[in-house]
Structure 1
Amino acid sequence: MNILSGIDLPGDLVCGSFMIAQDIYEQSRERGDDVRFFVLKSTAGSPLVAGAIELDVAKSDGSDYVNALRSAIEFQLAGWSPDVIHLHHLAYGMAQALSMLPFSAPRLAFAHGTDVYDAIRDEEARSLAGRIAKSSDQVVFPTVSLVRDAIETGIQLDPRRVVIAPWGVPDAIGQPEYRSLENSKQVIVASRFTANKDIQTVVEAAALLPPEISVSIIGEGRERETLLKIRDDLALEDRVMIEPMMPRVSLWRRMRAATVAVFPTRETEAFGLFGVECQVQGLPVITSDLPVFGEVFGGSVERFRAGDPADLARVITSTVESDTKLRALSAAGLVNARRYQLSSKLKDLLSLSDALVSRK
């Protein structure tokens, strides 16, 4: 099967979207599919998705940018045609550019969360997301909660085309047991630094934690300088480490050295991949009280009121200081994570493409 896809982000950016694409298209290639996956030119390293084709197009807004993407892709595809087109991020330029190409192949769109969040705040993004959804044969959402968010945002969806297909994590990425860390009480967070991800609440909560609890925040984004200033203003330089995002395997190693992970998203979340990856390794997880986390994690996590630093500090402290609670969360997390084994979830995702092509 020939699969055409792409995401207009720098190819070496470590983010959930590329992790998901990496899992999907590595499996596709292993079964013999010819995948043409386009990304923007990497800023420093190699593309995270193996075999990705880099486009030397500067990211911007507007029709000129979309047309530049389209022209660059057409040049790369000379003489090749897809059996199916995957449109990642409903409100991104790459999805629009791919949808404009003169191919009759069926289209499978994937909502990732940031596209729905952007649509909440931007009418143009909302309109584009609706057009991409309308032009697609099916639209894949990882959770029912994200579908609700999209509908409430005003994105027009045909219920007959919506498919719920949860994401997955590698079947054996860690150590399936809780590790008692008597000399270390460390909170770990890994995320993009955006208002929605609400890392600010974590930094502010750190000021209310007992001094023996440290916080490691790993990520990149436009709020990095703001977070550093808040940390320094609170005199937390020795207890709150803010580090660049790192490769996935390195991040897994850092998870194994932590005591608990925090997922603080304030408004819209697609799934919670970081949290499930933590659970696979036996790491207890604390999330905000968004409905999506109830859908994905059930009772296997502790929760705090979204956007409330005092409540987060309370939950972190009561969790970290109770070995009994940590062990219970670790065990519950392992059970929950087995629901999202990558091997089975990839079969579900790839079967959607197979079905669309067979009906063509």
Structure 2
Amino acid sequence: MLDRLWARLFGRRESFDDERVRRAFVDGLTGLPNRHVMGERLREARAAGVTGVAAMIDVDHFKQINDRHGHATGDEVLQAVADRLRAEFGSPAWAARVGGDEFFVLLPGVDMAEARRRIVRCAELLRAPIVCGQHAVENLTMSVGLATFPAPTNDELLKAVDVAMYAAKARGRDGAVVFDDDTRKIVTARRELASIIVELQERNRALRDDARTDALTGLRNRLALDEVLDVVVDGSDPRFAAAAVAFIDIDHFGDYNHLHGDAAGDEALRRVAAAVRGCSRDADLVFRKGGEELVVVLAGAGHEESRVAAERLRACVQALAIDHAGSKTASVMTVTVGVASGGAGGTLRALMIAASDEAMRAKVDHARNRVHAASI
């Protein structure tokens, strides 16, 4: 039966011809038993009454090897590590690849002192240069977690060696740590600290977002607007290879407040802001500049596109049909929109100023509830 499940999961070195079965049992890169086989062999060893020491080995700074030399070199390093583990931990000991740069070793019939000696010897093997094409990786080190075998379950054993391995990393790497209660406390404390740091970072992000959000409308506020105004069109930010800015002013808003009261004015402003945001594209940035003035940065928009977008925003507000008996322009609330587009090298600030000038000029010229465009 499948060569007795490949000689009980690599108990002997016979090969098996069925490549599909081989892939199910063997790590494709290193040729070591994979995680599934590791679990089976641990269960069998525990059932047979085997005692000894288990080790989890992590190659130190492996990501730097990948980043510096490339993944092909990284793969060759892992293959060399696997070969050296085989050389040191031959039968009855055995090694498996857990995943990534982590390896598991079981040393049957040894005590912890002997296990530590063998780990030290293996570490010396690992320091020998590994030649990978034109690269040579030297002085490779490993962090090792050790625990007594057996444990009540595979999961408990793997947690123990994993905790001890991370304790070894916390102590500066290139060493071995035996799992015990002190180790558990150290790693737990570090993980709790890491969790606290993540929580503080999330709170800081939330505070930063709150500081840049207008409390009334939920739009980005003046502080957030100021942070983008110096962006250069077709500069380093790919979002603004082209851009335009729409400046929106609510017509006769002061008269609306006088007639209906500040609470009604706030509600009208919220509705206008929601309409403008809803009629903008996902890529556009919508701000409340202050009072009844809104600004929309139209990412990627050229001159004609910006005119179309500005008209859409104007029409969306008028479609709200908010009664405005105090308006001299229409029976409902309307907006006047100035929009400016420009070529590479100009800033969003320059576009906003040009758009604002267009809107203000329209108010003076009694040309409200329209779009007024400029190109600079």
TM range (shorter): under 0.3
Structure index of larger Rg: 2
Q: TM-score normalised to the size of structure 1?
A: 0.21
